[in-house]
Amino acid sequence: MGELPNRIEQKAEAVRAALAAAVRTQGRVVYANSLGAEAMVLTDIIWTHVPQIEIFSIDTGRLHQETYDLIEKLQWRYRRTLRLVHPHAEALERLTAERGVNGFYHSLEARLSCCEVRKVEPFKRAIAGYDAWVTGVRREQSAARALAQPLEWDTQYGLYKVSPLLEWSEAQIWQYIRERKLPYNVLHDRQFPSIGCAPCTRAIQPGESHRAGRWWWEQSESRECGLHPRARPAAAEA
Ligand code: SF4
């Protein structure tokens, strides 16, 4: 793969160092791979340089076909299997029986119930037993994410949280992806800067914020899935 320009190589080296330090100091580290653009950078660095970190993605059952295609591309490129964590079947049956298959459109409560069953519970199950989890959040993504720290105690989940891409700009993420010729979700080429479940994500219009296409029918302050904080986090939290 191509050499990285100096500035990006320095940033990538800092990420490699932060992840290696997390393994050394924290113990068992797991990466919750969102399959977004930042995830392509972290997957490349982890599977190439810090393979002690295990990676999983949550398959909510409502992802875009393009996201499933991306999972296959990643597995081909790195000749690794990406662990997919699914919701519990019984909980899903209960959810759709009580709220309907598209209940998330009808109320914030129903939407949060869906995210709880399809994302948050599988996430908690996937990180159980680990000492730290890695996330690809960047400061410029939202007001809440601007407050995150590179390494902090995650009071919500009871383990450390490592965020090595906090200072990366979106342009730097894409520069890394292009220079390394990494696979990425083709929806990014169709004005989907942030990609989640298919029914809850849409393309954004020029001038809209990057997260405007997520749960667009809700007030902006409610637009998180529960894995990351919406308001100012406690001192030691993400
Ligand atoms: S993003 Fe939408 S479909 Fe996905 S878990 Fe949340 S409410 Fe359900």
pLDDT tens digit string along 117-148? 999 999 999 999 999 999 999 999 888 888 99
End-to-end CA distance of the chain: 34
Q: How far is the CA of 113 from the centre of ligand 1 (A)?
A: 9
> Residue 224 above 90 pLDDT?
no
Residue closest via CA to ligand 1's atom 8 equals 114
Q: Which long-range contacts (CB under 8 A, 24 or more apart) does 87-96 make?
A: 87/60, 87/61, 87/117, 87/118, 87/121, 87/122, 88/117, 88/121, 88/122, 91/117, 91/121, 92/61, 92/117, 92/118
Q: How far is the CA of 117 from the centre of ligand 1 (A)?
A: 9
Q: pLDDT band for 238, please (50, 70, 90 cuts).
A: very low
Residue closest via CA to ligand 1's atom 2 equals 200
38-42, 81-85, 231-235: least confidently modelled range: 231-235
Instruction: Please indicate whether residue 103, judged by its CB atom, sits closer than 6 Å to ligand 1.
Output: no
Task: Give me the pLDDT at residue 221, please.
Answer: 64
Q: Give the ligand 1 atom nearest the CA of 200.
A: 2
Q: How far is the CA of 115 from the centre of ligand 1 (A)?
A: 5
Q: Give the ligand 1 atom nearest the CA of 111.
A: 7
Q: pLDDT band for 222, please (50, 70, 90 cuts).
A: low
Distance (Å, whole) CA 183 – CA 177? 8
Task: Give me the pLDDT at residue 11, please.
Answer: 97
Instruction: Please indicate whether residue 99, judged by its CB atom, sits closer than 6 Å to ligand 1.
Output: no
Q: What is the reported pTM?
A: 0.90
Q: What is the per-residue pLDDT across 176-213, written as a single tens digit (0 to 9) for each?
A: 999 999 999 999 999 999 899 999 999 999 998 888 89
Three-state SS for 19? helix
Q: How far is the CA of 83 from the centre of ligand 1 (A)?
A: 20
Task: Give me the pLDDT at residue 211, please.
Answer: 82
215 contacts 39 by C-beta, under 8 angstroms: no
Instruction: Please indicate whether residue 31, judged by its CB atom, sits closer than 6 Å to ligand 1.
Output: no
Q: What residues are annotated to the active site?
A: 225
Amino acid occupying residue 200? C
Task: Give me the pLDDT at residue 5, please.
Answer: 84
> Residue 225 above 70 pLDDT?
no
Instruction: Please indicate whether residue 104, judged by its CB atom, sits closer than 6 Å to ligand 1.
Output: yes
Instruction: Please indicate whether residue 214, judged by its CB atom, sits closer than 6 Å to ligand 1.
Output: no
> For 160-186, what is the mean pLDDT?
97
Q: pLDDT band for 69, please (50, 70, 90 cuts).
A: very high
Query: Could you tell me the domains of the chain?
Result: 6-222 (3.40.50.620)
Percent of the chain with pLDDT over 90: 82
Burial classification of residue 128, based on how many CB atoms lie within 10 Å of its CB (0-12 exposed, 13-18 middle, 19 or more buried): exposed
Q: pLDDT band for 234, please (50, 70, 90 cuts).
A: very low
Instruction: Please indicate whether residue 118, judged by its CB atom, sits closer than 6 Å to ligand 1.
Output: yes
Average pLDDT value over all residues in the chain: 91
Task: Give me the pLDDT at residue 210, please.
Answer: 81
Instruction: Please indicate whether residue 200, judged by its CB atom, sits closer than 6 Å to ligand 1.
Output: yes
Residue closest via CA to ligand 1's atom 6 equals 115
Q: How far is the CA of 200 from the centre of ligand 1 (A)?
A: 6
Q: How far is the CA of 209 from the centre of ligand 1 (A)?
A: 20
Q: What is the per-residue pLDDT across 83-123, written as a single tens digit (0 to 9) for each?
A: 999 999 999 999 999 999 999 999 999 999 999 999 999 99
Task: Give me the pLDDT at residue 231, please.
Answer: 39
